[in-house]
Amino acid sequence: MTDETAKTTHFGFADIPETEKAGRVRGVFGSVASKYDVMNDAMSMGIHRIWKDAMMDWLAPRAGQKLLDVAGGTGDISFRFLKRAGSGHATVLDLTEPMLVEGRKRAEAEAMAASLDWIVGDAMALPFEDNTFDVYTISFGIRNVTRPQEALNEAYRVLKPGGRLMVLEFSQIPNPAMQWAYDRYSFNVIPAMGQVIANDRESYQYLVESIRKFPDQETFLGMVRSAGFEQAKYRNLTLGVACLHSGWKL
């Protein structure tokens, strides 16, 4: 028998017991929920919108598809997906209820209410049967999950045969000089912006640290393949600041 309490994981640059991570992550996103959308635009200078649109370009949603948007937060991916598909259904699942509450307040949520479900849940233990969804997305979510490989395994389980996985996440910049410049920006500017806009420096300090701890493009590609996905590939966005990983359950 393994002692579950002895296992540790990272929370930003800190090592903590695995059993504490989900609670800490819920604390971060519960705290920033009401300012989350404003902060996204401020921190990325609007670029997160371009990345999310690039995700849709590669995904090419089709009419009638059923999407599971894990760590879906305030709904950015699901809204885009339904707009592009024209018809279909999206389930937004998230660990942090206040994020879903903010999402439901958005004008798009009202306009698309009949095509949307909002569910509190954990990426590592999805409350759905096998072979349920056509598409699984997780955008800026998987680096917060305690055991990302388990989330990928769950994605594979709930997708139908022929279903598609698409992950959008911060990644590592292959060019060291650019990585240095990017680190200066993220470690100096983002926590300060979090303090001014959301009155919460610590949550944004966690954000930048968690980005640095996330596996690089090739390592994560191996994890996507280990979950069973085929034709797994990735595309860098903005020189590797972010990255899209795609895979198919065939």
Give the footprint of ligand SAM on this chain (CB under 6 A).
22, 25, 29, 70-73, 76-77, 94-96, 99, 122-124, 139-141, 144-145
Strands 65-70, 14-17: pairing kind? unpaired
Cβ at position 123, least distance to ligand SAM in Å: 4
Closest to ligand SAM by CB, 65 or 144? 144
Closest to ligand SAM by CB, 132 or 250? 132
Residue among 85, 63, 67 at smallest CA distance from 75: 67
Residue with the CB atom nearest ligand SAM in the bound state: 73
Cβ at position 144, least distance to ligand SAM in Å: 4
Closest to ligand SAM by CB, 76 or 134? 76
Cβ at position 46, least distance to ligand SAM in Å: 13
Closest to ligand SAM by CB, 74 or 161? 74
**Quick one: tokens of 245?**
């990983």
* Three-point CA angle 243, 166, 87, nearest 5°: 130
Indicate left, alpha or beta for 166 from its phi (over 0: left) and psi (-120 to 50: alpha). beta
Cβ at position 176, least distance to ligand SAM in Å: 26
Closest to ligand SAM by CB, 116 or 176? 116
Closest to ligand SAM by CB, 73 or 240? 73
Contacts (Cβ under 8 Å, ≥6 apart) of 172: 179, 214, 216, 217, 240
Cβ at position 236, least distance to ligand SAM in Å: 18
Cβ at position 25, least distance to ligand SAM in Å: 5
By CB atoms closer than 10 A (0-12, 13-18, 19+), residue 204 is buried
Closest to ligand SAM by CB, 140 or 156? 140
Residue among 149, 157, 165 at smallest CA distance from 215: 149
**Quick one: tokens of 165?**
């996985």
CB of 58 within 8 A of CB of 139?
no
Query: 91 pairs with which residues across the strands?
Result: 68, 117
Residue type, 70: V
Cβ at position 2, least distance to ligand SAM in Å: 20
* Alpha-carbon Rg for the chain in angstroms: 17
